Chain A
Amino acid sequence: MLSLQPRGYVSILWSWGSPILALVLTALISGAIFRLMGRPPVLTVYTFLVSPLFAADGLAALAVKAAPLVMMGVGLSLAYRANIWNIGTEGQFTLGAIAAGGLALALPDAPGWALFPAMIAAGIVGGALWALVVAWLRTGFNANEILTSLMLTYVAQYLLVYLVTGPWRDPFGFGFPQTAMFSDAAAGSRLVEGSNLHLGLVLAPVIAASAWLVLEKTVLGFQLQVLGEAPRAARFAGFNENRLIWLAMAISGGLAGLAGMFEVTGTQGQLTTTSSPGYGFTAIIVAFLGRLNPLGVVPAGLLLALTYLGGDAAQIDLGMSNAITGIFQGILLFCLLGADVLILHQPRWRPRHVKVPGAGT
């Protein structure tokens, strides 16, 4: 039977090979599911994973979709490396959107050069503050951050609903639950005229690179790593665990808020009840797929952005529900977690009853 022998070391080959293996397995499993649904498997997988790349403006759409995922994934990779499980990026994204959107609605006539940076700041602060509530509950009351950050996600959603259907509702919006469109100034300048490419696309890789430098080269990054690997050793070294929790939550929350800001200003242009397309949970997958490494998060974000586009393509071209995206992402994460076993273990084929030579005859 198949047995798993611990390698005794970390296999670099499989650290980076495992996501590729996971992707292949996911394609196969998805293909099988499509077949069960009565769909041609190869065509469907192709439509889902490949066709969006070749669509008109496909790469631009991919980059636009990936930017917020990369930003959030980078923040999460830092937090998760320190074993700080911020699951509430969905809510922090929402708060960033609310903060930035609120500013835009309050100052419809402000000039772009003043408004846009202010909105960036608002987005970051909004997300960071929401995350800091979680940090406060953890450091002050020992409350588990997974549950508190999740609960706050629901609260954030209801806050958004309240604002968008109540005080911030567009008076000329025919009663729809949405705010007025933001001014052009709020949308920020485009990288290329007339396109959807906004500043976030440039910021995302810069953020990833900076986070990598912090993690690998600075004391702070080292402290986060040690906290995640061996909390007792972190205490022994004199690293302040509470301070690190505050920082990790602030960074991951702030980045999520920043992503939220770009999404509602750059892409949507207003606040609605569905301002968050569920990026918060996808960002978790992005972080793991990227091996909790800020640089790895970039290709991971692109891949998961592709799955969103693929879901839309499947819906338009093949008439399928775009809930297929969620399933694909879930299966991808499963396969990744399974394939990761190869990083630390070597599979061996052993006959079930080991023959001990000379004994037991």
Chain B
Amino acid sequence: MDPPLLQLAGITKQFPGCLANDDVDLTVERNQIHALLGENGAGKSTLVKIIYGVMRPDAGAIIWQGERVAIQNPAHARRLGIGMVFQHFSLFEALTIAENIALGLNDAKDRVGLYGRIVEVSTSYGLPVDPDKRVHDLSVGERQRIEIVRCLLQNPKLLIMDEPTSVLTPQEVLLLFATLRRLAAEGCSILYISHKLEEVRALCQAATVMRLGRVVAHCTPSEKTARELASIMISAELKPAGERRAAPAAGKPRLVLDRLSLRANSEFGTSLQSISVSVAGGEILGIAGVAGNGQGELMAALSGETLAGRPEMVIVDKVPAGHMGPHERRRLGGCFVPEERNGHGAVTTMSLAQNGFLSAHLRAALVRLGVIDQRRTRAFADSVIRRFDVRTTGAAAVAQSLSGGNLQKFLVGREVLLDPAVLVISQPTWGLDAGAALAIHEAIVALSASGAAVVVISQDLDEIFLLSDRIAVIAAGRLSEPIPVRDASLERVGLLMGGVAAAPTDPVHA
């Protein structure tokens, strides 16, 4: 029998303060689609970076097609026949598709006739691309195609895909799966990293489950239910899935957007086009959408970092606020948690007390005559830390010393404690472990129950369906008409995300 395509034995990798991979074994057979499952922080990304030569293991062996190898660098990995499509694309915005692909091919002879080969390979695998287009003009799904085509041009025997569907619409996911199945059948195995259990069950023939750096199980995904897989991943009995939220009592509209339009301030941005929606107190509006469709611009328009053309475009508790900056909007009760923790929502090199001051100085009265009230500032940060179970040494701890989950708990708690009228939060649980994500979801739901209007902008459809009372989709800067969550199906939302304005009225089982 042929030896397995790839065998990892005892791979170990230590970072300062973190054992990312602890004696990991993994086997990928030929013609196999093999899942690598685990939570954020389980060590999956580190492992595949080792396979692809981006890092070297501290201990352990890599056996490729029966022979022991030490993979020096990505170019070496590619020569061996290993290709990788990263979660965060290695693409150059200002360059064309052909130039981007050429940069991934180190051998000059690989670049001969590149233009034609790009067209040929991309079309034959159902992922057509135009080599002269510049990357900054492309959607996220199209960008992923470039990454895949770049790998395919080198005839890989193993294709590693790191969380490929987190940026795709449901329809694009099906297209990707068809491509992957065909590749596996034709002799290119797939190592598929994901935490999306239903997808893994549908696509993969084998799975290796990791948790906190170690392998905890090998299994066949189709033989398990999603719940069983999830409990292996977090190694605990899952709480029963949260009930679909009961319809809230109709409250007064606390946040109203009236034909909000905003021209993008750069070539690469997305213009907002006539967005109108109303969010009532006690309601959670979920805004779904694939990255790059205006979420960042919408967040900035809501928080006041970008001013609107007319004051009435953004109305908070009946007060027109479109012309107000973040400071004045906070006075009205607007609270915001932006997508990016580091450098936007928080200053990584400053203490938690100082970060608390950043958004709370007005509503929590932390200033007297221009001087910072250090005692009150520390007390405020302490109360956030206590109430939201932030694991840290104290208010004086520097923000970057916290884990992502704990920092996010602090940033959400900072806003919630200010008794907002409106909370807008973008990507609330991106990159967080399940425990932190749960805590944040609970905080959001509790806040909404207390009467605030909450807007959740997220790329994670599971999260949107979990939290929202109504769902709207942002695509190319436009917002769809919000639909009640019980009327929404994955397909319908997926079509809206893909930009199809007219969604079928016949709700299909989600």
Contact = CB atoms under 8 A, between A and B. Distances in A.
The answer to whether A binds B is yes
B70 A360 contact: yes
Contacts of B345: 233, 236
B354 A222 contact: yes
Query: In this complex, which of B336, B358, B374 has the most chain A Cβ atoms within 10 angstroms of its Cβ?
Result: B358
A218 B373 CA distance: 9
Contacts of B61: 358-360
Contact of A10 (B70, B343, B349, B354): B349
A220 interface: yes
A236 B59 contact: no
Contacts of A240: 325
Interface string A213-247: 00001111010011001101101111010000000
A30 to B, nearest CB: 34
Given A222-B357, A232-B343, A237-B326, A356 B305 contact: no
A230 B56 contact: no
Given A217-B371, A356-B59, A360-B68, A236 B303 contact: yes
Nearest to A221: B372
Contact of A359 (B59, B354, B374): B59
A9 interface: yes
Contacts of A358: 10, 59-61
B305 A8 contact: no
A10 B399 CA distance: 13
Contacts of B343: 230, 232-233
Interface in B313-338: 325-330, 336, 338
Contacts of B372: 217-219, 222
B336 A236 contact: yes
B304 to A, nearest CB: 7
Interface in A319-356: 354, 356
Query: In this complex, which of A218, A359, A360 has the most chain B Cβ atoms within 10 angstroms of its Cβ?
Result: A359
Contacts of B43: none
Interface residues of A, number: 26
A5 interface: yes
A237 B68 contact: no
Contacts of A230: 343-344, 347-348
A235 B305 contact: yes
A357 interface: yes
A233 B346 contact: yes
Contact of A356 (B58, B348, B357): B58
A354 B58 CA distance: 9
A222 B372 CA distance: 9
Given A232-B344, A237-B359, A8 B326 contact: no
B346 A356 contact: no
Contacts of A235: 305, 326
A219 B362 CA distance: 11
Interface in B354-402: 354, 357-359, 361, 367, 370-372, 374, 398, 400-401
Given A358-B60, A358-B61, A359-B61, A236 B359 contact: yes
Nearest to B62: A359
Contact of A238 (B326, B338, B370): B326
A222 B358 CA distance: 9
A233 B344 contact: yes
A232 B340 contact: yes
A54 to B, nearest CB: 42
A240 to B, nearest CB: 7
Interface string B1-39: 000000000100000110000000000000000000000
A258 to B, nearest CB: 23
Contact of B59 (A10, A237, A357): A357
A332 to B, nearest CB: 26
Interface string A168-190: 00000000000000000000000
B137 to A, nearest CB: 25
B484 to A, nearest CB: 32
Interface residues of B, number: 45
Nearest to B346: A233
A154 B338 CA distance: 44
Contact of B56 (A5, A220, A356): A356
B325 A238 contact: yes
Interface in B433-454: none
A357 B13 CA distance: 12
A43 B255 CA distance: 75
Contacts of A10: 349
A233 B340 CA distance: 10
A219 B359 contact: no
Nearest to A216: B372
B213 interface: no
A243 to B, nearest CB: 11
B503 interface: no
B458 to A, nearest CB: 19
B347 A233 contact: yes
A219 B68 CA distance: 61
Contacts of A354: 56
B57 interface: yes
B301 to A, nearest CB: 13
A9 B401 CA distance: 8
A359 B57 contact: yes
A226 B355 CA distance: 10
A61 B325 CA distance: 51
Given A219-B361, A222-B372, A229-B349, A238 B57 contact: no
Contacts of B358: 226, 233, 236-237
A182 B338 CA distance: 59
A240 B304 CA distance: 12
A217 B373 CA distance: 8
Contacts of B10: 358
Nearest to B16: A8
Given A229-B347, A236-B303, A356 B401 contact: no
Contacts of B338: 236
A218 B343 CA distance: 21
B350 A236 contact: no
Interface in B47-79: 56-62, 68, 70
A217 B368 CA distance: 11
Contacts of B347: 226, 229-230, 233
Contacts of B398: 9
A230 B350 CA distance: 10
Contacts of A9: 398, 401
Contacts of B17: 8
Given A220-B370, A360-B68, A238 B59 contact: no
Contacts of A226: 347, 350, 358
Nearest to A226: B347
A8 B62 CA distance: 31
Contact of A219 (B58, B70, B370): B370
A357 B58 CA distance: 7
A233 B400 CA distance: 14
A219 B340 CA distance: 24
Contacts of A219: 361, 367, 370-372
20 contacts: A8-B16, A9-B398, A9-B401, A10-B349, A217-B371, A217-B372, A219-B371, A229-B349, A230-B343, A233-B345, A236-B303, A236-B344, A238-B326, A238-B327, A238-B330, A240-B325, A356-B57, A357-B59, A358-B59, A359-B57
Q: Ordered nearest first, which 8 A-B pairs have the shortest CB separation?
A: A238-B327, A238-B326, A360-B70, A232-B344, A230-B347, A230-B343, A237-B358, A235-B305
Given A238-B326, A360-B70, 12 more contacts: A8-B401, A219-B371, A229-B349, A232-B340, A232-B343, A233-B358, A235-B326, A236-B358, A238-B328, A240-B325, A358-B59, A358-B60
